[in-house]
């Protein structure tokens, strides 16, 4: 008969709460540092240009070491596209919140419109112009839109439930992702004169007109 293993010590409720609080504090501090890096990077990109800004510049502006920078981002390109990832997460959540009786195209349009209302125009136009004017970021941007398209296709299929067809979900996601990319480019080229939400509605109206 093998000897019984000693039981692992259990934390009291008070200690468990303290540990959870400490972990929560660390997570908040990490998020705050990540956001500080993002703000510092964007300010430098807009002031000096993307190519002229180095990782060392960003780290110094955010008051952290170069080594610490790589705990948060793999490269300066990733600083730019962290914003895109946040948009993707918000969009997927918006799709999930749409009524189940909406068509997939309507759900995609209304979710993008809801997300657009949350955008800070100054930040959004700066990001659009930054990506438009940098070939390296444009190539990376294409990869991000492909990931967005796959994530949206999954979200739309779940939204439609038993009525879902994978082909339809993928096609609608492709159209919606393309609308976001082209709409963003037009918005930047036109000087961001139009509210993002209005541009979303205009873009989807143009999509529907193609099939009429």
Question: Structure pTM?
Answer: 0.70
The span from the first CA to the last CA of the chain, in angstroms, equals 78
CB count, 10 Å around CB of 123?
13
The answer to whether 108 touches 172, Cβ cutoff 8 Å, is yes
* pLDDT, position 11: 47
Q: Looking at the domain that runs over 76-212, which CATH code has it been given?
A: 1.10.357.10
As a whole number, mean pLDDT of residues 164-193 equals: 85
Domains of the chain, by residue range, sit at: 18-73, 76-212
Query: What is the rounded distance in angstroms from the CA atom of residue 119 to the CA atom of residue 168?
Result: 28
Q: What single-letter DSSP state applies at residue 9?
A: P
Query: What is the rounded distance in angstroms from the CA atom of residue 130 to the CA atom of residue 83?
Result: 12
Express each pLDDT in 93-106 by its tens digit.
Answer: 999 999 988 999 99
Express each pLDDT in 122-154 by its tens digit.
Answer: 777 777 777 777 777 777 777 788 888 999 999
* pLDDT, position 8: 47
Q: Looking at the domain that runs over 18-73, which CATH code has it been given?
A: 1.10.10.60
Q: What sign results for the dihedral spanned by CA atoms 46, 137, 124, 96?
A: negative
């Amino acid at each position: 008969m093998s000897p019984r293993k000693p039981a692992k010590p259990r934390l009291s409720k008070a200690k468990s709460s303290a540990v959870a609080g400490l972990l929560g504090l660390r997570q908040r501090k990490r998020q705050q540092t990540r956001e500080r890096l993002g703000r510092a990077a964007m300010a430098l990109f807009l002031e000096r240009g993307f190519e002229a800004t180095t990782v060392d510049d960003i780290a110094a502006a955010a008051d952290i070491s170069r080594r610490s920078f790589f705990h948060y981002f793999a490269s300066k390109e990733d600083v730019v596209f962290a914003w895109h990832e946040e948009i993707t997460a918000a969009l997927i959540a918006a799709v999930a919140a749409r009524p189940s009786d909406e068509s997939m195209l309507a759900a995609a349009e209304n979710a993008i419109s809801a997300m657009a209302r949350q955008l800070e125009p100054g930040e959004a136009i700066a990001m659009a112009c930054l990506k438009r004017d940098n070939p390296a970021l444009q190539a990376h941007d294409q990869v991000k839109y492909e990931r967005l398209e796959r994530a949206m296709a999954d979200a739309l299929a779940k939204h439609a439930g038993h009525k879902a067809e994978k082909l339809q979900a993928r096609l609608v996601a492709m159209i919606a992702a393309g609308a976001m990319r082209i709409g963003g480019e037009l918005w930047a080229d036109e000087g961001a004169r139009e509210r993002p939400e209005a541009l979303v509605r205009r873009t989807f109206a143009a999509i529907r007109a193609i099939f009429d």
